[in-house]
Structure 1
Amino acid sequence: MAVRAVRGAAQVDADERDLILKATTELVTALFEANGLTPDDVISIVFTATPDLISEFPALAARELGLVDTPLLCATEIAVPGALPRVVRILAHVETMRSKQEVQHVYLGGATALRRDIAQ
C-alpha cells in the first residue's frame, strides 16, 4: 500500500454556505469515486478556498460525508490578481494501491480551467 496525494478543485457559483457545501460534497464524492476510495483510505485532507469564499468551512462537507475521524484542515489560497474566483481546492493524502500515474485528480465545473491537461 502506498501513500498518494490526490488533488482536485471545484468552482462555487456564489459565496453562500449551501453552495460551498454542495460543491465540496460533489468534489469529495467525485474524487472518491474516481479513485475507488473509502473513508478508511484517507489519511488527511487539506481544503483551501479562495479569499472570496468565507460563508462556510469546506471541511464541514467532508464531515457530513462521514469523515469524522480524519484530520481535516481549511486554509485560504493566496490572493493572486486575476486568479479564478470562488474555488475550493482539495489535497487528500490517501492509502492506495494505485501508482502516481493511475491516480485520478478531479476538477469540476469552472475549475477545469486550472488543469486542462488532466481535468475530466
Structure 2
Amino acid sequence: MNDPDQRLVGLRGATTCHDNTAQAIETATAALIDALVERNSLLPEQIVSLTFSVTADLNACFPAAVARRREGWHSVALLDCQQMAVVGDLPRCIRLLAHVWLPMDRAPTHPYLEEARFLRPDRLSHN
C-alpha cells in the first residue's frame, strides 16, 4: 500500500482457550481475530500478515487455518508457531502479531481477551 496517509503498524493480541479441542481453538481464534479487526476498523486489504503462537498445550488445530477461511484474506500471509515454553506461562494461550496498514491518525488497539488480559495489566482499562 503506497498511501502517504497510512503507516505500517505491528499489532499484538492474545486470548486463552478453555480446552485443547479444534472447536475451542477455532472459537477462541475467531474471537481474537474479530476483536483485532473490529477494534482497529481493519479491511482485509490492510492486513499484511499474522503470526500466531500457541502454548504447547494447544495442538488440536492451527489458528492460521481459522484465519485462512475468512472472506477476503487470500492475500494475508499467515503463520503458526509454538510459543516458547517458560515456567509459569499462561496455559492454553493463543498470541498473535499482525502487521497492518493503519491511517496515520488512528491509534492502534491491541486486543487481550479472556485470561490473556492479565498479560498486559497496562491495557486492562482498554479491553
Same fold (TM over 0.5): yes
Q: Give the structure with higher Rg (CA).
A: 2
Q: Which moves more between the two structures, 36-45 or 110-119?
A: 110-119
Compute the displacement of 1:98 (Å).
4.2
Percent of pairs with identical residues: 36
1:65 and 1:106 mapped to 2: Cα distance? 19
How far is 1:70 from its partner? 1.1
- Between the aligned partners of 1:23 and 1:84, the Cα distance in structure 2 is 15
TM-score (ref. length: structure 2)? 0.89
For 1:92, which of 72, 77, 98 is the aligned residue?
Answer: 98
Consecutive unaligned residues of structure 1, counting only runs of 5 or more, are: none
- The alignment's C-alpha RMSD in Å is 1.2
**Any runs of at least 4 consecutive aligned residues in structure 1 with deviations exceeding 4 A, and if so which?**
none
Which one of 28, 31, 35 corresponds to residue 33 of structure 2?
28
1:73 equivalent among 76, 79, 83: 79
Determine the structure 2 residue equivalent to 1:7.
Answer: 12
Give the C-alpha shift of residue 58 in structure 1: 0.4
User: How many pairs align?
Assistant: 119
Question: Deviation per CA, 1:49-98, whole angstroms, max 9, x where unpaired?
Answer: 00110000001111122222211000000110111000000100001114
Structure 1 pair 98–107 and aligned structure 2 pair: CA distance change class (3 A): farther
In structure 1, what is the Cα distance between the partners aligned to 2:15 and 2:68? 18
Q: TM-score, normalised by structure 1?
A: 0.94
